[in-house]
Structure 1
Amino acid sequence: MSLNDILKKPDVLLRLKKHPETFRFTEPVSLVVTGGHWPPHLLITEGEERGSFTVEGPMFSLLETLAEAMNFSYTLTRPPDGYWGAPLENGSWTGMVGQIYRKEADLALGPFALTEARAEAADMTKAVFFDKLCIIAGRGRPESDPWGFLLPLTPSVWLALLLAMLLTCASFTALGERSADGTGLLRALGVLFMHVRALLQQGLRSDVRPARARLVVGGWLLAAMLVTWSYSGNLASLLTVRHLAQPIQELRDVVESEDTVVIMEPDTAFTELFAKTESAILRQIDAFKHINRMKYFPFEYFYDLMDVEVRRGDDVIITTVVSADLLFAEFFTNTGDVFIILRNTDGYGSDRI
């Protein structure tokens, strides 16, 4: 007997309303249960025979528990289009929600994201799972900075070096240092040039005569050596580390990027959310579908897309955190590559490959 037929019996419906916690069918009843492949919640494996498949996962275990507790049998099916369900212009629905709406199935295994439209088309249980959206984006390619030799020298270091050279020049002048190269401005320039030579380790003339002047020269040589040693060590450390740009950090970066294409699953609660939300940033993402910057693929294609379109290209995937973790785990198992995972607390974080 089908579910619709047995619920038409007054005594069955009365017992269900009075004792929903302990209700059991006393007559044989069979339900049509539909489900879509969504690891790790529900895993569907194709069988050797055409049209055959096996089901496992936490949602299937929940179905078996309900069947045993309520005393019903079931027949498994799948949505013909493979979608979760989205409303059509003619008032009908696609996917599993469409099967429930047209009474082709009695129960759909989720978990489903609850939306106002879905609640009007089918009855929903209480929430059994909570998840957030995230962005899977490829990181930038290793970059070499042609001005990398300037990285160890911050503006404060440059200022300190300039002040030290000026102070040393003033000290030479105050101590009465004489130069054979001339007097006045020429002498000051000669002293400054000598200090620069010492800093660049190009040698130093040895005819500095007054003892006080030699003390100043020795102090400058010591400072120059400390600066050059520190510079060479820091430069080696900085050049050893590769610089990898992270262009996508949040949804705003996706919008501002001119070439980025967004990949999502079709006909989900999130596509409906993006189309009807009051959030300006989500509406901008939804508008991508009108300018060929939005692609829709079933989840089973995401692994290959993540490796080709995202990791080696400029596209991004917007999906749930659980789905992203599953993709990362599978990718690590197959390739050994590790992912840097960053998530923001606003629910629209970013997972970076």
Structure 2
Amino acid sequence: MARLRHTCRRIVFVSRNVPGVMPHPLKEVQQNPEVVQEMHSNAAHFRFQEGASLVITTLHSAPHIFIEEDGEGGGTDATSLPIRGSLANLLSILAHKLNFTYKLIQPPDKTWGTLTDNGSWTGMVRQVKNQEADIALGVFAPYAERVEAADFTSLFFFDHRCLVAGKGASEIDPWSFLLVLAPAVWASMTGALVACWLSILLFVVTTGHSLPPLLKAETLFLQISTLLNQGVVWRRIMWRERLVLGGWVLIGMVVTWSYSCQLPSLLAVRSIPQPIQSITDFLEDPSLKAVLVPNTYITSVMAQSREGEFYELNKLQGSDRIIMRTQAEFPNVLDNLVRRGDHVILSNTFPLKTAMAQDFSRTGKCDFYLSHQTFFATGHGMIGQKNSPIIPLISRITTYCLEGDFQAAPGEEVELSVPPAAALEVEADFTGLEHSEDYIILGREEAPKIRGTPSPSGGQTTSETLNHSASG
């Protein structure tokens, strides 16, 4: 087994295809029946012997993929699209393991993809279905329509959806004295007070005596005075009444002591309002606006709903209460809209937590909160063209990565600058694995091992950089 040192920060995979010869597109390579047969029969060790060129579509999806677009690289057919993140690292492993180069593109509408009313698809799903891209690099939630349009890899990420809203200004709640005791305790104390009072009246009546109305009221007042630690004098009290009142005094003493100990602390603490905890809370406040990512699992469910919260949410589409933004715009939306308190974001929990963490790192303030309500917990995977034999291969390698707990450390993700369909040099940062004493990147014996010696594929290795031959 290989020992991964903290100093081993970069792994460089260098493609060694025949100089001057461009790899053939994947579609042409898969027309060779011998290649397809080997992909099916030798999945554990398959590599494209002469290389292959893939077109891969992707979108910014923190923390899985960060796309740092510049003036020249931000188009949908950019010659260089710098990406970083855990999926960028996974892509470099796939490229090395299967021996392919790739070109990264983005969908023109910058969306994931949903089925429209006319039966066509949008976003990355459309590019894959129309064979404009071989693979969509991202975390896609599977549902019936998507599964019919594209093939999913094995699911490697699980997440649910929720709301994120801005915290209110800190304030002292004038009713906080009621929060010391739970509602059930208040109800029990009230019930015990009434029961004790009625018991005393009943005992007096059974002895043949009668109490005037004023004395009845005085008896109740004296019981309340006991809770307030006031000195009281009981008149006309017999031994049965003494037992009842003694039990009441004991209960009242324990409760009031507990109450008085906690009350100063609660009154000194300022509360921060967090009123939006569910979609219903949003719907009931007409001053709020929701920000959603277009053409996603959530919008698809909204369009298909015929009742309930998401049906009501879907009816707001087209009004000024629903705003569509991409995940790449989340930091700006949090800073300029949600922080004001009149906007919320409805999306996957993990990207929302990432945007909140980035905002905290930048400002040093925690101004947002996640709702208590969560919904739509689903698995996520990448997608490819229907019946493409490369999808099972990708699923197999992805499973190895999951078994090996491969991930990139936050803030230290890889940055790739990928030229289209050419011999490429990919830098992958495997930070976050330095805690492992012994480690194989893909978790199985056929995976490339990290060592300070030449690799089995012929590349030269140092403690800082490992060069592997992509052609084997």
TM-score computed with the length of structure 1 as normaliser = 0.71
Q: Which amino acid is the alignment partner of residue 38 of structure 1?
A: S
On the 8 A contact 2:165/2:345 being kept in 1, the answer is yes
Question: C-alpha displacement at 1:241, in angstroms?
Answer: 2.0
Question: C-alpha displacement at 1:43, in angstroms?
Answer: 1.3
Q: What do the CA deviations read for 1:298-324 (whole angstroms, capped 9, x no partner)?
A: 112222222332232222111111112
On the 8 A contact 2:55/2:133 being kept in 1, the answer is yes
Q: What do the CA deviations read for 1:234-289 (whole angstroms, capped 9, x no partner)?
A: 76544422233321122222222232221111111221122224662222222221
Return the match for 1:4 from 20, 27, 36: 27
Q: Sort the Cα spacing of 1:103 and 1:244 in 2 relative to 1 into closer, same or farther, 3 A.
A: same
- Residue 29 of structure 1 corresponds to which residue in structure 2? 52
- Residue 182 of structure 1 corresponds to which residue in structure 2? none
Q: Which amino acid is the alignment partner of residue 34 of structure 2?
A: D
Q: Separation in 2 of the partners of 1:151 and 1:5? A: 70
Q: Separation in 2 of the partners of 1:230 and 1:19? A: 71
Question: C-alpha displacement at 1:149, in angstroms?
Answer: 8.2
- Residue 38 of structure 2 corresponds to which residue in structure 1? 15
- Residue 272 of structure 2 corresponds to which residue in structure 1? 244
Which consecutive residues of structure 1, in runs of 5 or more, have no partner in the other structure?
A: 164-187, 189-194, 196-225, 349-353
Identity %: 38
Question: C-alpha displacement at 1:146, in angstroms?
Answer: 6.0
Q: Separation in 1 of the partners of 2:112 and 2:26? A: 22
Q: Separation in 1 of the partners of 2:57 and 2:176? A: 59
Return the match for 1:323 from 351, 364, 371: 351
Question: C-alpha displacement at 1:343, in angstroms?
Answer: 4.4
Correspondence 1:337 to 2:366: yes
Q: Separation in 2 of the partners of 1:69 and 1:262? A: 43
The secondary structure found in structure 2 opposite 1:66 is: helix
- Residue 198 of structure 1 corresponds to which residue in structure 2? none
Q: Sort the Cα spacing of 1:295 and 1:339 in 2 relative to 1 into closer, same or farther, 3 A.
A: closer
Q: Which amino acid is the alignment partner of residue 30 of structure 1?
A: S
Question: C-alpha displacement at 1:150, in angstroms?
Answer: 8.7
Taking the TM superposition and a 5 Å limit, the aligned residue runs for 1:112-191 are 112-144=140-172
Question: C-alpha displacement at 1:329, in angstroms?
Answer: 1.0
Question: C-alpha displacement at 1:93, in angstroms?
Answer: 2.1
- Residue 219 of structure 1 corresponds to which residue in structure 2? none
Q: Separation in 1 of the partners of 2:116 and 2:137? A: 21
- Residue 192 of structure 1 corresponds to which residue in structure 2? none
Q: Sort the Cα spacing of 1:73 and 1:252 in 2 relative to 1 into closer, same or farther, 3 A.
A: same
Question: C-alpha displacement at 1:28, in angstroms?
Answer: 3.3
Taking the TM superposition and a 5 Å limit, the aligned residue runs for 1:1-353 are 1-47=24-70, 49-51=72-74, 52-144=80-172, 237-277=265-305, 280-334=308-362, 335-337=364-366, 343-344=372-373
Q: Separation in 1 of the partners of 2:336 and 2:329? A: 11
Q: Separation in 2 of the partners of 1:156 and 1:115? A: 49
Q: Sort the Cα spacing of 1:232 and 1:298 in 2 relative to 1 into closer, same or farther, 3 A.
A: same
Question: C-alpha displacement at 1:143, in angstroms?
Answer: 4.3
Q: Sort the Cα spacing of 1:3 and 1:338 in 2 relative to 1 into closer, same or farther, 3 A.
A: same
Which consecutive residues of structure 2, in runs of 5 or more, have no partner in the other structure?
A: 1-23, 75-79, 197-214, 216-221, 223-252, 378-472
Q: Separation in 1 of the partners of 2:367 and 2:310? A: 30
- Residue 228 of structure 2 corresponds to which residue in structure 1? none
Larger helix fraction of residues: 1
Q: Sort the Cα spacing of 1:313 and 1:73 in 2 relative to 1 into closer, same or farther, 3 A.
A: same
Q: Separation in 2 of the partners of 1:302 and 1:343? A: 20
Q: What do the CA deviations read for 1:47-69 (whole angstroms, capped 9, x no partner)?
A: 46454431122212222222222
Q: Sort the Cα spacing of 1:232 and 1:44 in 2 relative to 1 into closer, same or farther, 3 A.
A: same
Q: Sort the Cα spacing of 1:5 and 1:148 in 2 relative to 1 into closer, same or farther, 3 A.
A: closer
Q: Sort the Cα spacing of 1:254 and 1:104 in 2 relative to 1 into closer, same or farther, 3 A.
A: same
TM-score computed with the length of structure 2 as normaliser = 0.55
Q: Which amino acid is the alignment partner of residue 346 of structure 2?
A: I
Q: Separation in 1 of the partners of 2:96 and 2:258? A: 73
- Residue 239 of structure 2 corresponds to which residue in structure 1? none
Q: Sort the Cα spacing of 1:22 and 1:278 in 2 relative to 1 into closer, same or farther, 3 A.
A: farther
Q: What do the CA deviations read for 1:74-121 (whole angstroms, capped 9, x no partner)?
A: 112122221111223443322111111222111110111112222222
Q: What count of residue pairs does the alignment treat as equivalent?
A: 325
Question: C-alpha displacement at 1:31, in angstroms?
Answer: 0.9
Higher RCO, Cα 8 Å, sep 6+: 2
Q: Aligned-pair RMSD on alpha carbons?
A: 4.6
Q: Which has the larger radius of gyration?
A: 1
The secondary structure found in structure 2 opposite 1:244 is: coil
Q: Separation in 2 of the partners of 1:58 and 1:128? A: 12
Question: C-alpha displacement at 1:333, in angstroms?
Answer: 0.6
Q: Separation in 2 of the partners of 1:16 and 1:290? A: 48
